[in-house]
Structure 1
Amino acid sequence: MTDLAEHVAARDAWARSARGPLALVNAQHVDRPQPVWPVAGQWAPAPGGLTVTAAVSDGVVVDGVPVDGTVLVAGDTAVVPSTVAFADGLAGTVHGRTIDGQVLRVWDPASDAVSRFARIARFGPSPEGWVTTGRYEPRSGLEAPGHLTDAAGDALPIAGTITTTLDGVTVRLTAVRSAPFHGRPRLQLIVQDGTSALPEDDPGSSYSMGRFLYLDEPDGAADVTLDWEWLVLPPCAFSYQYACPVPPEENRIPVSVTAGERHPVDTTGAVLH
């Protein structure tokens, strides 16, 4: 496993990267011909992605070729997704979402949020530590509620439950199956706890909508270790362009987990988003 210090540095670098959450300035669902802010071209749904109609003077470049007319922009489910470049260093990607349209994501590596960002604020280390053991029990046939989604708003399948004890309180948490990481299947806990509050209401808060904890998915029922220092912010903590999952009732932990990430902050320490 990556060292925690390396993980912290990698998370800060990810947040400010050209495809990091602070660079996403628009995620527009395109279900009919329409313009998309703040880029050029007329965009429309098409099998496998979107089409863009533009003139050479608009400065839209798809797969390395300037657009002069109408071309297909292949979505991220294609064998070879398209790359899109715009004027002023902006870039675009197409996310395959529904049969009635797809989402054009517009990335600005010099966005205001990227410029203002300093770091991801974290809770300080605890002398007692925040590591618990738990029991994972896989479940089949459970339908995920509509509020359990990934950052694009796509449903995450329920994998099972994890029972653990935090600060003397036993909880049975719903675990969803996240996208594989480095080729390994992962479980994801979407949780709120006693620190989940607006910063103006509680200076010692973490992001009000909750945080994520990832762990490798066992092959079946198994004991697992939960290191709560690895709690991370969801992408929606950085940009309103992301969907924000709502933790299920059973994942609203009735204790304050003072570990892991709290908020993205600027150079003054003020909460960025």
Structure 2
Amino acid sequence: MSTHTETARPEAFTAAWQEWHTAHERHRAHAHGFLAVTHLHWLGSEPVALDGVPGTWSAANDAVTVVLEPGEVLELEQQPLPAGETVIGPIAERGGLNLTSGETVIEVAKRGGEYIVRPRHPENRLLREYQGTPAYSPDAAYAVRGTYVPFEAPRPTTVGAAVEGIQHVYEAPGEIRFKLAGRELALTAFNGHAPGSLSVLFTDQTSGKTTYAANRSLSVVPAADGSVELDFNRAVNLPCAYTDLATCPLPPAENRLPVAIEAGEKIPYERQDQQ
């Protein structure tokens, strides 16, 4: 438990966190989000039929080939693919596109240099039974100021993945230095999804105890002068915290913090019997 008292938290800080958390939960429970993933298929050079997906599939020469029989339906941007062979790609690493078949959205993507197919269906049991994610009560003591320090040149950084046998390579443009619990700390940052944002993957002394063991993620946006707010109350779980059908990256070794971050999202209910 945090040693900070409820009365020490300004009401406005708590209200802002609650609004953010509600929106994040709504996004997570989207009908075709990662909780809707029913299968994870790794493609090889031999054409194969895939559970939950029309057609036969293969990958070679940095492209995906799908072959549809008459009557099988796959759409790309609301346009049906023709019967017979369609070649998709190349797709950039960590990129992807979505096909549809009825209520199913079919993600075709590249992860760790390999092509994958992941169908997503709104009636998937994990999504249908999702009851929200437990989190620490918001605590302003875990919203700290830091400084973003760019490296002389971006550093290619190789990290492991939640799935055995693959690695992710990210470009790390710099690190964020900050002080917490009386310790001078630093986190290597990767480029975020939104322009100008950074993504930080980390573990801490709560990992595997009250928070998910493999990783948590925090998105930050440095100001022009390099100052940044690290609000660990908004540290979130990645998809691998909920499903084994995810390929999430693990934090770089230097991002294993020697302090307990008693803030942000906790171990999902779905995983609590596995810790």
Q: Same fold (TM over 0.5)?
A: yes
Q: CA RMSD in A?
A: 3.1
Cα 1:174–1:66, aligned 2, differ >3 Å: closer, same or farther? Answer: closer
In structure 2, the gaps of 5 or more residues are 1-14
Match of 2:84 in 1: 69
Cα 1:145–1:61, aligned 2, differ >3 Å: closer, same or farther? Answer: closer
* TM-score (norm: length of structure 2): 0.79
Match of 1:264 in 2: 268
1:246-257 equivalences under 5 Å are 246-257=250-261
Pair 1:170-2:189 in alignment:
no
Distance 2:253 2:115 in 1: 31
Following superposition, the deviation at residue 22 of structure 1 comes to 0.5
In structure 1, the gaps of 5 or more residues are none
1:27 to 40, 50, 63: 40
Partner letter of residue 168 of structure 1? G
* TM-score (norm: length of structure 1): 0.79
Distance 1:271 1:121 in 2: 14
Partner letter of residue 213 of structure 1? L
SS at match of 2:178: strand
Pair 1:51-2:62 in alignment:
no
SS at match of 2:156: coil
Deviations 1:142-171 (A, max 9, x none): 23023389xx96422111111111111211
Distance 2:52 2:167 in 1: 22
Match of 2:218 in 1: 213
Match of 2:119 in 1: 106
Cα 1:129–1:176, aligned 2, differ >3 Å: closer, same or farther? Answer: same
Match of 2:202 in 1: 191
Cα 1:148–1:108, aligned 2, differ >3 Å: closer, same or farther? Answer: closer
Cα 1:247–1:97, aligned 2, differ >3 Å: closer, same or farther? Answer: closer
Distance 1:55 1:211 in 2: 43
1:10-21 equivalences under 5 Å are 10-21=23-34
Following superposition, the deviation at residue 240 of structure 1 comes to 1.5
Match of 2:146 in 1: 134
Match of 1:7 in 2: 20
Deviations 1:84-140 (A, max 9, x none): 2235x22212214577x52222111110100110111111133x5311111211011
- 61-70 or 20-29, which moves further after superposition? 61-70
SS at match of 1:118: coil
2:239 to 224, 228, 235: 235
Deviations 1:31-71 (A, max 9, x none): 31222222231012367752221223344444432642223
Cα 1:13–1:190, aligned 2, differ >3 Å: closer, same or farther? Answer: same
Distance 1:59 1:272 in 2: 39
Distance 1:118 1:156 in 2: 33
Q: Is the 8 A contact 1:117 1:264 kept in 2?
A: no
